[in-house]
Structure 1
Amino acid sequence: MKKHFKVVYLFIILAVLLAACGTNSDQSSKKKESDQSYDRIVSLIPSNTEILYELGLGDKVVGVSTVDDYPKEVKDKKQFDAMKLNKEDLLKAKPDLILAHESQKATNGKLLNGLKESGVKVVYVKDAQSINDMYGTFEQIGKVTGKEKEAKTLIKETKSNIEKVKDSVPKDAKSQKVFMEVSSEPEIYTAGKGTFFDDMLTQLKAKNSFSNLEGWKKVSKEAIIKKNPDIMISTMGTSQKEYQSVIDKRGGFGDINAVKNNRIEAVNGDQISRPGPRIDDGLKALRDAIYNSK
């Protein structure tokens, strides 16, 4: 659970930083990449790592972030704290390619640019805030690594899997108002419009209770009560029982529809928060939570 909290914390911090510094992506990534192949790749965010493995480049990965945990082979890789990068440590890994997240320009841009001067290729992968954006990251990483054909295949397979999940949503189901709780302590955070979670809810024909907000936002208990969601879903890595215990301790929540109708749910946050090859599994888990089809 501590591991997952770190993932969620990094997820929120990176999103906030990206919003603060604007959403301009690395323009160099739009240019045609050289035919150079890379043998020592460092990936600084879990979704990029999962994409690399799916493209058949797992044996080329020599370093990952401290919150990487999938596939299981990453436990044997050198780990780097994506929020506190150390230039000397990175150079010791002798990478020829570093895949960073777009928001890391704000936190580590100077350091990463310094690595470029040392001859290391640094690519900022675009921030994916929708499933369509995610396909763009598949393409971007495929182009950089010379795996464009494999990336196209991955996109095709992922689209097919996602369509199957969408088609499985009950045709006669009433659209539910859903509150997504991405952090409970020290403050409650949720997903507004323009976020990956919001797009996933839309794909599943559900309504985001806080679609009036933009991005990842802190919300008060009073605001949640006022929104009166039909379903409350935790993405923090807790069990349904643990999340229920958290809700039970919040004064005034007894009048919320989700509480009155026992619709307090929990899903695997890693599956639904990482815009990568496993997103169809995350979408299935979210579908099951919303439509109570476990």
Structure 2
Amino acid sequence: MNKMMYIIVAFILVLAACGTNGEEQEQDNAHELGTTDEVSYTVKDARGVDLTFEEPPETIISILPSNTEIVFELGQGEKVIGVSDTDVYPEAVQNIEVVAEYQNINVERMLELDPDIIFGFDYGNDEMAPLEEVGLPVYAIDGASSMEDIFSDIQGIADALAISEDGEALVTDMQDELEEIADTVAEVDERSIYFEISPSPDIWTLGTGTFQHEMIEAAGLHNVFDDVENWFGVSDEQVIERNPELIFTTVHYTDGDPLEEIRNRAGWESIDAIVNNELELMPPDIMDRPGPRIVEAVRTLAETAYPNLF
């Protein structure tokens, strides 16, 4: 029996075994793969809230930039009809109506737009309650503290849009690229880094339990504050004592040059990074947002720290 005949016979046997449930099983499988637009399905968001759809959403509002980037990276950007005022990427968001500003979600306008789904957030303060009280369908994610959380958010959003396979493919591509970067920096003499996310006088950095810390490690770098958890404030003395080889910052909202401000801090002139002029202003949109561009962020960190390897 040739290969094609074997496949045909096997397929007939499978259909026979399924009996009258064959069509239902085929529809179920199609939904699991994110390819159906005929079968209702239910997804659960980060709060444990279930949302049921009779068909995949065709109109989307996203009020968190990282969610918006995920939706576009999944190829669903043309469905987005509303965003927040902090959305800047991709460029297409500039042509989409702003329906949410900082601490001001325009519930009335969202009701008028009547989206099939709203991708929102849950930071433990019941932020999405005003939307749900008027019957709007909200899928919320919580704050990502690891790369795995980001992968989970991507998959969850893909599931909600009934494109599960696309979510799996995107996550796999990201993981593959991260492995390539890891291989490139595997043999480096690890350099130490202080990563600043808030400027003087209230200096803040990050430690373990943050996705940025994992990005730093993935780039072959040593975070000088890896003995502290989460995002936290530090003193001048603490940074001086840890004497990092590199100082990277995402601060971009201060007057003047943020790197020059760091160079001129009292006592910091003795830090190796200052002595050797190893200070870098990093792009905040890719460094601070838990979305698909974290791979670009890791590559940027690694290329900046080890330019001879790339």
TM-score by length of 2: 0.78
* 1:27 matches 2:48: yes
Structure 2 residue corresponding to 1:54, chosen from 70, 73, 76: 73
Alpha-carbon distance between aligned partners in 1 of 2:251 and 2:54, rounded to the nearest angstrom = 41
Check the 8 A contact 1:83/1:107 in 2, yes or no: no
Alpha-carbon distance between aligned partners in 2 of 1:187 and 1:35, rounded to the nearest angstrom = 50
Runs of 4 or more off by more than 4 Å in structure 1? none
Alpha-carbon distance between aligned partners in 2 of 1:62 and 1:43, rounded to the nearest angstrom = 8
Alignment map for 1:70-219 (pairs within 5 Å): 70-79=89-98, 80-103=100-123, 105-106=124-125, 108-115=127-134, 118=135, 120-169=136-185, 171=187, 173-184=188-199, 187-219=202-234
User: Could you say what secondary structure the match of 2:296 adopts?
Assistant: helix
Alpha-carbon distance between aligned partners in 2 of 1:51 and 1:109, rounded to the nearest angstrom = 19
Check the 8 A contact 2:219/2:299 in 1, yes or no: no
Structure 1, unpaired ranges of 5+: 1-23
Q: Share of identical aligned residues, percent?
A: 29
Structure with higher Rg: it is 2
Paired letter, 2:143: D
Whose relative contact order is higher, 1 or 2, with alpha carbons under 8 Å and at least 6 apart? 1
**Which of 146-155 and 91-100 deviates more?**
91-100
Alpha-carbon distance between aligned partners in 1 of 2:102 and 2:175, rounded to the nearest angstrom = 30
* 1:45 matches 2:64: yes
Check the 8 A contact 2:60/2:80 in 1, yes or no: yes
Alpha-carbon distance between aligned partners in 2 of 1:204 and 1:114, rounded to the nearest angstrom = 44
Alpha-carbon distance between aligned partners in 1 of 2:200 and 2:115, rounded to the nearest angstrom = 36
Alpha-carbon distance between aligned partners in 2 of 1:202 and 1:169, rounded to the nearest angstrom = 10
- Residue-by-residue CA offset, 1:202-252 (whole Å, 9 max, x unaligned): 2123211122222111222222112211110012248xx934311122000
User: Could you say what secondary structure the match of 1:113 adopts?
Assistant: helix
Alpha-carbon distance between aligned partners in 2 of 1:134 and 1:216, rounded to the nearest angstrom = 17
Number of residue pairs aligned between Structure 1 and Structure 2 = 263
- Residue-by-residue CA offset, 1:169-205 (whole Å, 9 max, x unaligned): 161x222221111121562211121011111112123
* 1:246 matches 2:261: yes
Distance apart, 1:167 and its partner CA: 1.7
Check the 8 A contact 1:193/1:211 in 2, yes or no: yes
User: Could you say what secondary structure the match of 2:173 adopts?
Assistant: helix
